Amino acid sequence: MTEQERILQLRAELHQHNHNYYVLNTPTISDQEFDALLRELQELEDRHPELADPNSPTQRVGSDLSQEFETFVHVRPMLSLSNTYNIGEVAEFYQRVREGLAGEDFEICCELKFDGLSISLHYEDGRLVRAVTRGDGVQGDDVTANVRTIRTIPLQLRPLSESPNGGENWPRSFEIRGEILMPWSSFEALNREREAREEPLFANPRNAASGTLKSKQASVVAERKLDAYLYYLLGDELPADGHYENLQAARSWGFQISDAMRKVRTLEEIEAFINYWDTARKDLPVATDGIVLKVNSMRQQRALGMTAKSPRWAIAYKFQAEQQSTILREVTFQVGRTGAVTPVANMDPVQLSGTVVRRATLHNADFMDSLDLHVGDHVLVEKGGEIIPKIVAVDEAFITPERGPKVEFIRHCPECGAELVRYEGEAAWYCPNETGCPPQLKGRIEHFVSRRAMNIDTLGPETIEDFFARGLIRDYADLYTLTVDQLSGYNDTRIRSARKTIQAIEASRQVPFERVLFALGIRFVGETVAKTLARRFRSIDALAHATLDDLLQVNTIGAAIAESVIRWFADADNAFLVERLRAQGLQLQLSDAAIAEQSDRLAGKTIVISGVFAHHSRDEYKALIEQHGGKNTGSISAKTSFILAGDNMGPAKLEKAQKLGVPIVSEDEFLQMIE
């Protein structure tokens, strides 16, 4: 595999992992594995600047934005921290701080890294006025109504005369950041309730907290008893120069601040703190996944400054995953939406990182074979990033000559019996029976109705399973022939929900062409690719008749995507599916308004976006650039036409732009340019 192919492969994998983590709340790899893949991609992109892509995972922070809430631009961007998994890199961080401060004495504040959902709380005159999620770091979701239900977050700060600890008065206006958490006790109770209702279980407290905070009903948030720990105070009139001292002041104002904080001066003290909490954290009532180290002095923090993505004055040390030994009883096989077959280990129950584990993914045939698994083996299981259980090795201490049968990967689909195939360059085995394999059929329908596709939000996996079992649907075109009577089954109690579902299906007929194209589920055609193809070909018919050369002429469309599109439209069943959707009135071409809005005003221009904007979001500006023929990129080079700059443009980008002589265009100038 060439380095160019590896870059494309890594981007696709990391985009999927970001989607799994932030949107679906069902991550499939650990933080450490994700960071390793991201680091590999960054190194490859550094070697190949000609392959720069503004949509690369290295150019963005995974987002938890939701369309259900209004967004709010952060007054100060919420940057992520650099991660490390070993003491050696902590020592390197410590040395960089010493050098950055030119030998000046400094203190490090050691804190627990809570595993929840980052939140920014804004207070005016002692009252909570806004609560915003981290989002993409530049803007987040306004979840104030839901946060007001969390009892450990003060809505009104008490006068200092009532504070048991005394302390400095709170500033008139300030921001305090922290983590929204679901305690282990609440998490386990919630999963017991979901299990009783035969609903999917949350994988871990972080996912449960995230899903809860994004609930449309504040009453649901209140019932689930979320908690919050605050860890960073920001504002123009803070009580002290010390970060630790500011948090102690915040404690006196009524905020819940962790007791597990310590100021230290030496690397030995940092290591002692890490070693202590690596064990002691298992007795905490909430999930933690590491330690955060911060330079204590705010003045020194400002002197050290930021990189484009993270502060130089802080670092996160991630704990190594806990391991336990248990017995492998059998391996079963699951078929996904794309037909990929995944082996799953079924084991004796074992307590791991606060939850009981019975199953663990084995990823693919190569991974499974590398472990040399036999039924009855004692295996070592860990939770990567405290989330997804996985087998890391056979426990050799228990291997005997009388081992059970070796676990072999299957050769036929466990659902439909079709012979499995393996495509060149792919690690997974696939069931090729796309039109007759039930999990694939149901999975494609689930993708079709998803929020970013057709947004038929009344149809979840359980409802689709029910409709499928009742013979009401076999593919997504069948959705448009459903009736209220079919869905309600003449049960008066279900008529209201049935009508709501039919209304949502009817509304989806107006979904624009680029989202319909994404909803079709063509392999490798994600949201961004679907938009690109829709703008280039403008209709489903033009795309269906495009040649390989036609597709390869489109910017960012490579051979794998082009061949996949051609294969999909060459299939007679898919062609018939398109005709059925056409007959139902779906949007299979760009609207006249969308075509009229396109222009070539930015044709041939490569543009970098930086800063915070007043009139549109960054994503909206990216869409406008593409709409007018321009190309987005995340890094500045001599080929950059100009930088679209908002407030708080990154200092590193500004310096590089000045060095290369790249023009800087303001928000208003840009809007005049395209209008």
Secondary structure, 3-state, 153-209: CCCECCCHHHCCCCCCCCCCEEEEEEEEECCHHHHHHHHHHHHHCCCCCCCCHHHHH
120 and 76 within one domain: yes
The answer to whether 504 and 458 have CB atoms below 8 angstroms apart is yes
270 and 370 within one domain: no
Q: If we measure between CA atoms, which residue out of 581, 541, 536 comes closest to residue 556?
A: 536
- Provide the pLDDT for residue 65: 45
Among 113, 214, 318, 531, the one annotated catalytic:
113
- The stretch 252-256 carries a mean pLDDT of 89
The residue type of 496 is R
415 and 462 within one domain: no
Q: Helices 572-583 and 559-570 meet at what angle, rounded to 10?
A: 70
Proportion of the chain above pLDDT 70, given as a percent:
91
> Which positions ≥6 away from 627 have C-beta within 8 Å?
535, 597, 598, 599
pLDDT at 445 over 50: yes
DSSP letter (8 states) at residue 19: I
Tell me, what CATH number does 667's domain have?
A: 3.40.50.10190
583 and 509 within one domain: yes
Whether 161 is covered by a domain: the verdict is yes
Number of helices (H) and strands (E), helices first, in the chain? 25, 21
Q: If we measure between CA atoms, which residue out of 347, 372, 369, 342 comes closest to residue 359?
A: 347
Q: How far is the C-alpha of 328 from the C-alpha of 313, rounded, in Å?
A: 45
Query: Which regions of 366-409 does DSSP assign to beta strands (E)?
Result: 378-384, 388-394
298 and 203 within one domain: yes
- Provide the pLDDT for residue 219: 72
Phi, psi dihedral angles at 212 (to 5 degrees): -70, -45
What burial class does residue 641 get, using C-beta atoms within 10 Å of its C-beta: 0-12 exposed, 13-18 middle, 19+ buried? middle
Whether 448 is covered by a domain: the verdict is yes
pLDDT: which is higher, 390 or 634: 390
Choose the weakest-confidence range: 80-89, 330-339, 597-606.
597-606
Q: How far is the C-alpha of 213 from the C-alpha of 43, rounded, in Å?
A: 36
Q: How far is the C-alpha of 638 from the C-alpha of 185, rounded, in Å?
A: 55
Phi, psi dihedral angles at 430 (to 5 degrees): -125, 150
- The stretch 565-586 carries a mean pLDDT of 95
Residues in a beta bridge with 608: 633, 643
Tell me, what CATH number does 457's domain have?
A: 1.10.150.20
Q: Is 384 helix (H, G, I), strand (E, B) or coil?
A: strand
Domain boundary among 383, 411, 431: 431
- Provide the pLDDT for residue 534: 92
The DSSP annotation for 252-286 comes to HHT----S--EEE-SHHHHHHHHHHHHHHGGGSSS
Tell me, what CATH number does 422's domain have?
A: 2.40.50.140
Under the banding of pLDDT at 50, 70 and 90, the label for residue 64 is very low
225 carries an active-site annotation: no
pLDDT at 285 over 90: no
Under the banding of pLDDT at 50, 70 and 90, the label for residue 69 is confident
Whether 578 is covered by a domain: the verdict is yes
Domain boundary among 410, 431, 452: 431
Number of domains in the chain: 5
Q: How far is the C-alpha of 545 from the C-alpha of 516, rounded, in Å?
A: 18
Degrees, nearest 5: CA angle 140-143-146: 160
297 and 162 within one domain: yes
- Provide the pLDDT for residue 163: 46
Q: If we measure between CA atoms, which residue out of 19, 24, 20 comes closest to residue 460?
A: 24
Whether 65 is covered by a domain: the verdict is no
- Provide the pLDDT for residue 165: 47
Choose the weakest-confidence range: 26-35, 298-307, 657-666.
26-35
> Which positions ≥6 away from 560 have C-beta within 8 Å?
8, 524
82 and 199 within one domain: yes
Whether 514 is covered by a domain: the verdict is yes
Choose the weakest-confidence range: 12-21, 234-243, 388-397, 564-573.
12-21
Domain that holds residue 550: 438-592
Show the 3-state SS of 502-555.
HHHHHHHHHCCHHHHHHHCCCCCCCHHHHHHHHHHHCEHHHHHCCCHHHHHCCC
47 and 160 within one domain: no
Under the banding of pLDDT at 50, 70 and 90, the label for residue 191 is confident
C-alpha distances out from residue 508 to 456, 487, 576, 592, 601, Å = 7, 18, 20, 19, 32
Domain boundary among 431, 456, 478: 431
- Provide the pLDDT for residue 68: 57
- How many CA atoms, within 13 angstroms, populate the side-chain half-sphere of residue 581? 27
Q: Helices 438-449 and 461-469 meet at what angle, rounded to 10?
A: 130
Q: 320 is written with which tokens?
A: 């190594």
The answer to whether 365 and 372 have CB atoms below 8 angstroms apart is no
Neighbours of 532 (CB within 10 A): 19
The answer to whether 640 and 608 have CB atoms below 8 angstroms apart is yes
Q: How far is the C-alpha of 321 from the C-alpha of 80, rounded, in Å?
A: 21
The pLDDT tens digits for 593-621 are 777 777 888 888 888 888 778 888 777 78
Degrees, nearest 5: CA angle 12-463-451: 40
Q: Is 361 helix (H, G, I), strand (E, B) or coil?
A: strand
- The stretch 23-38 carries a mean pLDDT of 71
- The stretch 173-200 carries a mean pLDDT of 83
258 and 143 within one domain: yes
> Which positions ≥6 away from 155 have C-beta within 8 Å?
127, 128, 148
pLDDT: which is higher, 219 or 94: 94
Name the strand (E) or helix (H) holding 666: strand 664-666
Whether 66 is covered by a domain: the verdict is no
The answer to whether 600 and 622 have CB atoms below 8 angstroms apart is no
Rg of the chain over all Cα atoms, to the nearest angstrom: 27
- Provide the pLDDT for residue 157: 83
Under the banding of pLDDT at 50, 70 and 90, the label for residue 158 is low
Q: 71 is written with which tokens?
A: 């967004």
395 and 336 within one domain: yes
Q: Which residue has the tokens 């204590």?
A: 296
pLDDT: which is higher, 614 or 273: 273
Tell me, what CATH number does 49's domain have?
A: 1.10.287.610
pLDDT at 512 over 90: yes
Q: How far is the C-alpha of 467 from the C-alpha of 594, rounded, in Å?
A: 35
Mean pLDDT, rounded, of the chain? 86
pLDDT at 161 over 70: no
179 and 86 within one domain: yes
97 and 36 within one domain: no
> How do beta strands 340-352 and 288-295 pair?
unpaired
Tell me, what CATH number does 184's domain have?
A: 3.30.470.30
- How many CA atoms, within 13 angstroms, populate the side-chain half-sphere of residue 96? 17
The answer to whether 450 and 417 have CB atoms below 8 angstroms apart is no
pLDDT: which is higher, 53 or 329: 329
The answer to whether 602 and 629 have CB atoms below 8 angstroms apart is yes
The residue type of 461 is P
The answer to whether 512 and 533 have CB atoms below 8 angstroms apart is no
Going 23 to 29 to 32 to 35, the CA torsion angle's sign is negative
